[in-house]
Structure 1
Amino acid sequence: MKTILAYGDSLTWGHAPAGGGVRHPFADRWPSVLEAGLVGQARVIPEGLNGRTTASDDFTAASDRNGVRLLPTLLDTHQPLDLVVIMLGSNDIKTFIVGSAFAAANGMKRLAEITRTFPYLNGLAPKVIFVAPPLTVPSPRNVAPASVSPRTTDDQLFDHYYATAAREVGAGYFNAASVAVASPIDGVHLDAANTRAIGMGLIPAVKQALGLQ
C-alpha cells in the first residue's frame, strides 16, 4: 500500500466557512475523500494547519506557520512516503504576509526541493504534486480589516505560476479552482461539497503519479 502526505493549510485541515474553529467531519475533508477514492491502494496522512504558508513567517500566530520550516519534521515523522501532495498559498497572498502568487510558487518549489533532498532512511524520495488553491470570492468577511483580509487579486494567478513551477521542478500539478470554489460566507474556506470535490479531482493525478490503476 502506498503512503501519501497531504500537506496544507486550513483547506486541508477542514476549516468550515462558518468559523469559530468548526471543522468539517473527517469523511468530508479532501484527504479522506482522496483515500476513499483510491480504494485501499493508498493511505493519505492529513497534515493541515490553519494559516500555514509556503515559506513565510507569520509572527501573529500562536504556532509556527512556515511550511518550509515545518516540512522536514513531518517528512521524518511519516516516512517512508510515496507521494507528497502540497496545497498551500492561500495564506501567502495575505498582504501582510507576501501578497504574491509568484512568491507562493517559489515557496512551493522550495518545498519540492526539501521533499526530494531529505535524507530518508530508505534512500527513496517521494514524488510531489502541486495543488493550486481555489480562488477567493467576495464576502462580507473578506474585506479589511477582517482576519482573512486583505488579500490581493493574485489568487487568479495561482494556476499560471503553479503550473509553471510544477513543470520546472518535474512535479505533478492539479488546479483545485477547476473543481472547487470558496464559500461566500467568509470568501476563503470551502463548504463540504467543495472540499470533497478536491479529493475527487485529485484521484486521477495521484493514480498517474503512483502508477495505480
Structure 2
Amino acid sequence: MTTILCYGDSLTWGSVPNGGRYPKHLRWPSQLNERLGKHHQVINLGLPGRTTLWNDPFLEGRNGLAYLQAALETFGPVDILIIMLGTNDLKRHFNVGAYEAAKGIEKLIEKSKMPNTHGFPSPILLIIAPPNILSPNGAVAESFDGAVEKSQHFHQYYQDVAVHNKCLFLNSAGILQPSEIDGVHLDAQANEQLAEAVFSLLKGKV
C-alpha cells in the first residue's frame, strides 16, 4: 500500500468558491486515489487558510511548517508527499509575495527530510505551484487585494526551489485556473484537471 499525503490549503481541502465544501468524490485527492487504485492510499490533509510558515493572527493553527512533522508521523511512513501551499501567503496582511512563499516551501522540503525517531524514510516530494489568482470576488476580495500579480510568479520561484531540492514539480497554472466566481478556489472541473495531471506525473513512480 503506497501512502500519498496531500498537504495543502482550501484548494486541497475542497472549498467551493464563495462557501461550502465539495463532496468527497469531487475533491482532487479523492479523484487521484480513484485513478491510482486500491493499492494506494491518498490522504487529504488540506486545511483552509493554511500558509507555508506564517502565523495568521486571524486563524489559529494555520502555520504549515509547524504541523508538517506531526502529519508525517501521524500518517507515516509516507511514500509521497504532495505540497500545494502559498496562496494564503499572498493575503494582504502578510505583505509577502511568491518569492517568500517559495522560500517557505523550501523550509517545508527541509522539514520533510529531517530524521525522525521512527526510522521512516524521507518521502518522494511533489511540489505544486498554486494556480494564478484571478480577480478576487466576494468574501475573499479584501484578503487577496493585490495578490493577482504576485501569484503570477509562483511558477518561476517554485520550479527553482523544486529543481534545486530534486523534487517533482507541477505548475498548476499551466493546466487550470480558479473559478471566476471568487477568483481563488477551484471549481469541479479544475479539481478533475488537477487530479489527472498529478496522476500522469506519478503513475510511473508509484
Q: What TM-score do the two structures reach when normalised by structure 2? A: 0.94
Counting matched residue pairs gives 206
Percent identity between the two aligned chains: 37
Secondary structure of 2:82's partner? strand
Are the aligned partners of 2:51 and 2:89 in contact in 1 as well (CA < 8 Å)? yes
Q: Of 46, 58, 61, which residue of structure 2 is paired with 1:60? A: 58
Q: Distance in 2 between matches of 1:143 and 1:126?
A: 34
AA in 2 matched with 1:40: K
Are the aligned partners of 2:133 and 2:184 in contact in 1 as well (CA < 8 Å)? yes
- Residue 157 of structure 1 corresponds to 153
Question: Aligned runs of 1:19-98 on 2, under 5 Å?
Answer: 19=19, 22-61=20-59, 63-98=60-95
- Residue 166 of structure 2 corresponds to 170
AA in 2 matched with 1:200: E
Asked whether 1:11 is paired with 2:11, we answer yes
CA shift, 1:148, in A, is: 4.2
AA in 1 matched with 2:168: G
AA in 2 matched with 1:47: L
Q: Distance in 2 between matches of 1:38 and 1:3?
A: 11
Q: Detail structure 1 runs of 4+ shifted over 6 Å in the superposition.
A: none
Asked whether 1:180 is paired with 2:182, we answer no
- The gaps in structure 1 that reach 5 residues or longer are none
Q: Of 170, 189, 196, which residue of structure 2 is paired with 1:193? A: 189
Secondary structure of 1:99's partner? coil
Q: Of 115, 119, 122, which residue of structure 2 is paired with 1:125? A: 122
CA shift, 1:23, in A, is: 0.4
Are the aligned partners of 1:136 and 1:182 in contact in 2 as well (CA < 8 Å)? yes
- The gaps in structure 2 that reach 5 residues or longer are none
CA 1:143 to 1:72, structure 2 compared with 1: closer, same or farther past 3 Å? closer
